[in-house]
Amino acid sequence: RDLTGLDLDDILGTINAEVRQRFGEGRVADYIPSLADVPRDRFGIALALLDGSVHEAGNARERFSIQSISKVYTLTLALEAIGDELWKRVDREPSGDPFNSLIQLEHEKGIPRNPFMNAGALVTADVVLSGFDAPERTLLEFLRKRSGNPEVGTDEVVARSERESGYRNVALANFIRSFGNLHNDVQDVLDFYYLQCSLRMDCVDLARSVQYLANAGRCPVSGERVTSAEGTTRINSVMMTAGTYDAAGDFAFYVGLPAKSGVGGGIVAVVPHVMGLCVWSPGLDEKGNSLLGRYALHRFTRMTGLAVF
Ligand code: GLN
C-alpha cells in the first residue's frame, strides 16, 4: 500500500467537486428534529494518515451526530472488558436485514447477529455498562484520546429525542432481556445507547479516531494500545461484513474497505496499515447509509487503488 505518486489533496478536491454536483440526492433522517434540521447540501471528507498528517476537503470541520458510528467504539470497549466472552452474547454474522430489525432475534434466542445492528449494540452497551465503573466517562475519554480533541461531547437534545422516539429500541431491549441477554436495567442500557448515538464529532475527529484500527491496535494520537492486533483484525472484519447493515455486500463491492455508517450521514472507514478516514453527507439511501458518502468512498478507492481487494 504505497501512496507515492498519489496527490491526495488533488483527489479529495476532485471528489468534493463531484459530490457537490449531486447535492439534493438522498433523504435526511427525520425520526428526530435535530437530525431532520441538518441541511442536505453538506459534504466533508478527511484522511488521517499514520504519519500524523491529515488531508481534508469540504465541510470536514463541521460537527454532526455520529449515531451508529459509535458502535465501533463500544465494541472495542466491550472487547476490552470481557474479551472473547463477548461472542457468546453477540454473533459476528452479517444480517441481511435492516439495522433496527427484530426478526432474527427470536430464532436466535436473543443473541443478536452482530454488534452493529441495534440489537447487537444494545448487548454491547450492556457489557460496557457492567465492565466499567464510569461507562459514560470512559466512552467520552476514549473518543477524546482517540481524536486528540478534548471537546468531543454529547448532544443532550439528541439523546432526549432518541429516548422519546425510541419505541423500536425499547422493544429490542426488552425482547433481548426476555432471553436473559441483558444484565443491567433495560432503561439504563437504552440510555447509554442513546448517549453514544448523540456524540458529536467532525470528519477530522472521526478519521483520527479509527486510526488504531489501521495501526494494529495502537492509537497514533495518544500512543496508547487500544486493542490487540487480533482485536483490530476482528473489528475490521465485522465492519466489512456488517458495518453498513444490509448494504455491506454493496459496500464491499463498490468501496472495499471496512466501514461503519450512522444515520447522521457519517461513514468511517479503515485502510489497514495506512489511514483512518471519514466522509459525511446527511442525505441517506434507503438502507440508512449516506448516499453521497458511499459515492465518495467508491471514488476514493478507485482513484487511489486502496480497496483491500
Ligand atoms: N439512533 C439510531 C437508532 O437507534 C441509530 C441508528 C443508526 O445510526 N443506524 O435507530
- Structural domain includes residue 168: yes
**Number of neighbours of residue 113 by Cβ within 10 angstroms:** 21
The answer, as to whether pTM is greater than 0.95, is yes
Of all atoms in ligand 1, which is nearest to the CA of residue 69?
8
pLDDT tens digits, 151-171: 999 999 999 999 999 999 999
Please give the number of the atom of ligand 1 that sits closest to the Cα of 162.
Answer: 1
| 6-15 pLDDT tens trace | 999 999 999 9
Q: Is residue 265 part of a domain?
A: yes
Q: How is 206-272 classified by DSSP, letter by letter? A: HHHHTGGGTTTTB-TTT--B-S-HHHHHHHHHHHHHHTTGGGHHHHHHHT-S-EEE-TTSEEEEEET
The whole domain housing 286 covers 8-304
Residue 3, domain member (yes or no): no
**Cβ-contact 98, 245 below 8 angstroms:** yes
Is any atom of ligand 1 closer than 6 Å to the C-beta of 162?
yes
Asked, for residue 185, whether it belongs to a domain, the answer is: yes
31 is in an annotated binding site: no
pLDDT band at 1 (very low <50, low <70, confident <90, very high): confident
Total domain count, the chain? 1
Regarding an ipTM greater than 0.90, the answer is yes
Evaluate whether residue 212 is within a structural domain: yes
Decide: 258 and 237 in contact? Cβ < 8 Å.
Answer: yes
Q: Is the pLDDT of residue 5 over 80?
A: yes
289 in contact with ligand 1, CB cutoff 6 A: no
* Ligand 1 center to 300 CA (angstroms): 26
- Catalytic residue ranges: 68, 71, 193, 245, 263
129 contacts: CB under 8 Å, gap ≥ 6: 135, 184, 188, 189, 192
The number of angstroms, rounded, from the C-alpha of 97 to the middle of its chain's C-alpha atoms is 17
Ligand 1 contact, 34 CB (< 6 A): no
Identify the CATH number of the domain in which residue 207 sits.
Answer: 3.40.710.10
245 is in an annotated binding site: yes
pLDDT of residue 42: 98
Identify whether 45 is part of a domain.
Answer: yes
Residue nearest to atom 6 of ligand 1 (CA): 68
When pLDDT is averaged across residues 107-117 and rounded to a whole number, the result is 97
> Ligand 1 pocket: which of 35, 118, 193 to mutate (most atoms <8 Å of CB)?
118
Grid cell listed for 70: 459509535
Q: Are 159 and 194 a contacting pair, CB within 8 Å? A: yes
